């Protein structure tokens, strides 16, 4: 019986260089602040080392992660998450936040 999942046998997947598969600009979409680093940090570093333009779209501002925090009220947490995201990504990037 043939498995229709191409990732079931990764040894049969084609091995390509980043130059073969990448088109600029590269857009990384992250649901929450820091997800772009946790999920795609290696890919971002590799792309930047090859001087690819990387754009990051963060879909939330991170303020709902600690809703009852005394020390991190929503405005302060928003500022902290934005600064963490920008500090984590080194280089000339474009970074947006879509706030909910």
pLDDT recorded at residue 82: 81
pTM of the model: 0.64
pLDDT recorded at residue 90: 55
Q: How far apart are CA 6 and CA 12, in angstroms?
A: 8
Which residues in the chain land under pLDDT 70?
1-3, 6, 22, 88-100
Q: How far apart are CA 33 and CA 53, in angstroms?
A: 20
pLDDT recorded at residue 1: 53
Token code pair at residue 36:
């772009």
HSE (CB half, 13 Å, CA atoms) of 73? 1
Four-CA torsion 69, 70, 76, 78, nearest 10 degrees: 10
């Amino acid at each position: 019986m043939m498995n229709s999942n191409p990732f079931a046998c990764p040894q049969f997947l084609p091995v390509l260089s980043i130059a073969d598969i990448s088109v600029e600009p590269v857009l990384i979409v992250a649901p929450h602040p820091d997800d772009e680093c946790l999920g795609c940090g290696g890919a971002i570093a590799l792309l930047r080392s090859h001087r690819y333009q990387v754009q990051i779209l963060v879909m939330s501002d991170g303020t709902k992660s600690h809703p009852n925090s005394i020390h991190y009220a929503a405005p302060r947490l928003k500022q902290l998450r934005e600064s963490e995201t920008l500090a984590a990504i080194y280089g000339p990037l474009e970074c947006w936040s879509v706030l909910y």
